[in-house]
Amino acid sequence: MLSIRSFVRRAPIDLLVRFLDAFEIVVELEPDDKLRSRLDKVDTALASAARGTRGAVEQAIDRIDKLATEPGEAAIEAVAHRPELESQPSALARSTWLYLHDRDMFRRAEDIHYSDNQRFGRQWTAFLTKPDCALLNDDEHLKSLEGKLKEWFDSRHVMLEIFTRIRPGDGSDDAGEEAAVVSQITIYREGRAAEDLAFKDDALTVGLKYPVLEASMTYDAKTGRVECVAPDKDQRHEIVRLMAQGLLGVDGDHEPVEQRAYDLKPLAKRIVFDTDPDDPIEQVWVSMMRLQPVETSSERVIVTSLRGSGRDIWDQVAVRLGAKALASDYTITQAHIQVRHRPDGAGRLRTLNVIITHPHNSSLRECTEIERLLASKYLARWGLLVQ
């Protein structure tokens, strides 16, 4: 979580002043202020601000910081097409500018970040429905659908938000797959009541709190592909059935798209992670293997290898478990792979940690260019993705 002082250090001064003004924090900042002076002024202003202001500022900075990451930037680019964003000097500045100038668009970018960050994970399922459907998103259809969702979820309140966004292509074909224009549907519903302590007129009372729960769905009209993010598998199936019926006019159940299958057997031997010179990958390192003894399914052995240790993962396994451990004694159930890359071919090296768990789980969410490159090209080349 980005601290207030770190935010003050990194945010452009004009945006910082407007951000503080939004919380009625009065502070005189000048462009030629030294950093120490700027930090002291903000600290003093926060100390005299109304109670609760510091917490509200910290929450806002946390939201801004999440969209100042590479996946967060992709979420902003997917929905916010504002020329003013291009002139901002950094990812933090762009996220802050959007927070200050278009709160609704900022929240949509948060929704995209949430749903895309769950892609291919345990809370995500893809389905195939009918392509080329126009959304039935007039008031009558939306009210009817919200009523059905209320009944199924047994919830007093349900609200749908529908907007159009961009999903980057994965470049999996020779020409590079074009970005897809998809419809995103965010479902907000009131959850079950829970008793919670609260102060009322300086007295401690017990009240009911109704959390707002979120699920999301995207529809690609070109392919008919629907992706749903929700905590429960049965929820995802029912949400897609109701949404396809209510928004697409398509009845019936929809079969999930077959999950990707991963194969970790190639890692039983030392392999060369071959890459093309035009791609920004500079080093690939297996940092951890989780091993299962062949004679039992109730035990696991974890072996790690840090860069600079002088031994790669295969040497570590041989030293700790024996030279034939991966050939006959253990199977690999999970691998952690560090991919060092240089975005845009310049700047400092970054490390992407990829976790692959046999048979269907991966930490790749395809939110960033390097994730899409690995998922569409290199995992198959290295033999880790079953075609």
**Residue-wise pLDDT tens for the chain (387 aa)?**
899 999 999 999 999 999 999 999 999 999 999 999 999 999 999 999 999 999 999 999 999 999 999 999 999 999 998 899 999 999 999 999 999 999 999 999 999 999 999 999 999 999 999 999 999 999 999 999 999 999 999 999 999 999 999 998 754 443 345 689 999 999 999 999 999 988 888 899 998 999 999 999 999 999 999 999 999 999 999 999 999 999 999 999 899 999 999 999 999 999 999 999 999 999 999 999 999 999 999 999 999 999 888 899 999 999 999 999 999 999 999 999 999 999 876 678 999 999 999 999 999 999 899 999 999 999 999 999 997
Whether 224 and 151 map to the same domain: the answer is: yes
Residue 197: Cβ-neighbour burial (10 angstroms; 0-12, 13-18, 19+) = exposed
Amino acid 175: pLDDT: 36
Query: Where in the sequence is the domain holding 25, given as residue range(s)?
Result: 4-116
Residues 289, 215 share a domain: no
139 plus 110 within the same structural domain: no
240 in a domain, yes or no? yes
Residue 285 lies in a domain: yes
The residue from 248, 276, 302 where one domain ends is: 248
Let me know whether 8 and 94 are in one domain: yes
Measured CA to CA, the distance from residue 179 to residue 275 in angstroms comes to 24
Got the DSSP string for 92-118?
Answer: HHHHHHHHHH-HHHHHHHHHHHHHHTT
- Residue 204 has a CB neighbour count (10 Å cut-off) of 8
Residue 257: inside a domain = no
Whole-number pLDDT of residue 345: 64
Does residue 376 lie in a domain region? yes
Which tokens is 184 given? 């995103």
